[in-house]
Structure 1
Amino acid sequence: MLRVTDGDAVRVATLDRPTVRNALTPDALDDLRDAVTDADQPVVYVHGAGDAFCAGADLDVVRGLDGPRGEAFARRGQRTMNAIEDSDSVVVAGVDGAARGGGVELALACDVRVCTPDATFAEPGVSLGVFGAWGGTRRLSEAVGATHAADLSLSGRTIDAETARDVGLVSRVAADPREVAEEIAANDPAALRELTGLLSMDASREESDRAEADAFARLLADDPFEN
């Protein structure tokens, strides 16, 4: 289900179930979490095999859930997405083809989201009587604002790559999103690690300013200009 390839600066995590558009099972969620948290590389690039990024949760799994097991599955997904969000590595989502439901949530948990011109995005859960519960309701609002988040979540409509960029769901539309991961990985690993932590901080201005100054001092203590 998950194929991991290690380079010097980039670990590539490939969702590899193309026949079901890389839908995520509980075990796949755990494997994805481990692939990101165990990475020694400064950058982890997450993408999908075949013609889709990720269709979200495997519906064969979801259909068999009751209330308590549904909560457990949601919590399992949240642990994975939180681990991706909290990773010391910069996690880049390369979206090519369809991202649906939990696939959108996976992309949202990554630090940088880049898509190809063929990418499409949707939160279609409402048409099935459910919705994404892996932290996506919060992250979608943070990424695109409350107005766009409500529109996308409540309508279940599909948007294309250009619209995704316009509303802030992705930062770039590129022919090869992996090149963006390589571009980021060419920078100083210590600076990337510090910046990743600062950009994801949920703190007051005073706390954020202090953390920023402390991180800046740590980098200078290592004499970066002498390397």
Structure 2
Amino acid sequence: MIRTSTDGRVRVVTIDRPERRNALRPEDLDALRRAVDRAETPVTYLRGAGDAFCAGADLDAVAGLDRDDEADATSFARRGQRTAAAIAAADTVVVCGIDGAARGGGVELALAADVRAATPAATFAEPGVEFGLFGAWGGTVRLPRVMREGDALEFALSGRVLDADEALRTGLVSRVVDDPRAVADVIADGKPDALRTVKRRVRDRRDDAMQADAEAKAFAALVRSHGADIAASRTE
């Protein structure tokens, strides 16, 4: 179940299956994608209910996949990829607040967010190797972009649990704070179009020359939109 609410300039999206550590069924993935797609606030705050962020894919759903039909498992993976891609591509800035366990697909959804803030109680693991699986919701693409390649490989191959401090050291999260929501609130104070532009420029995967050109044009557009505010700030 996915719950949504709006609090000022922040849309709060909660994965709400605490009895299953917020594990996601196919229908939950679809609902999460819709919740992010429909966000109109400058910032979306993604969190889990209870004492876990997200345990990843619901193993009952995985166990129910047709082993003799490759399309069935492929479709499930694609569903998770589409949800993670929606988080990464959303116009809104997505801040992921991790409190408690993030496992497997939960780590992958967090990787798709723009900012990951964890509490001291947060832990992270990719335990798929224990079951003969791996992170197929975009994790193999995003993990080495967020962590150094060596750290990413060791994390994914070992299946071991990282605490919040090690997640911070390896770059898996950018902040360890008592209240991750406060990180979302600070970001939400920015100009909405500037927030969108920064996100698009940082996430632009085109070649360097094209990115530099797009970055310069975007900067000019923001100066055009906020020239008066910029001028006024010089006198403050």
| TM-score tier (shorter) | over 0.9
Aligned partner of 1:3 in structure 2 is: 3
User: What is the alpha-carbon root mean square deviation over aligned residues?
Assistant: 1.0
Instruction: Check if 1:156 corresponds to 2:185.
Output: no
Moved over 4 A (4+): none
**How far apart in 1 are the matches of 2:7 and 2:119?**
23
**How far apart in 2 are the matches of 1:109 and 1:225?**
35
Tell me by how many angstroms 1:205 deviates: 1.6
Corresponding pairs, count: 227
**How far apart in 1 are the matches of 2:204 and 2:189?**
24
**How far apart in 2 are the matches of 1:128 and 1:224?**
56
Which residue of 128, 142, 165 maps to 2:145?
142
Tell me by how many angstroms 1:150 deviates: 0.8
Tell me by how many angstroms 1:221 deviates: 1.9
Instruction: Check if 1:82 corresponds to 2:82.
Output: no
Aligned partner of 2:35 in structure 1 is: 35
**How far apart in 2 are the matches of 1:190 and 1:130?**
40
> SS of the residue aligned with 1:222?
helix
Aligned partner of 1:50 in structure 2 is: 50
Amino acid at match of 2:107: V
**How far apart in 2 are the matches of 1:223 and 1:159?**
42
Which residue of 157, 165, 183 maps to 2:168?
165
Any unmatched runs of 5+ in structure 2? Answer: none
Aligned partner of 2:14 in structure 1 is: 14
Amino acid at match of 2:43: V
Tell me by how many angstroms 1:85 deviates: 0.4
Amino acid at match of 2:80: G
Which residue of 116, 120, 132 maps to 2:135?
132
Any unmatched runs of 5+ in structure 1? Answer: none
Percent sequence identity over matched residues? 55
**How far apart in 2 are the matches of 1:188 and 1:224?**
13
Tell me by how many angstroms 1:219 deviates: 1.1
**How far apart in 2 are the matches of 1:95 and 1:190?**
26
Aligned partner of 1:205 in structure 2 is: 208
Tell me by how many angstroms 1:224 deviates: 4.4
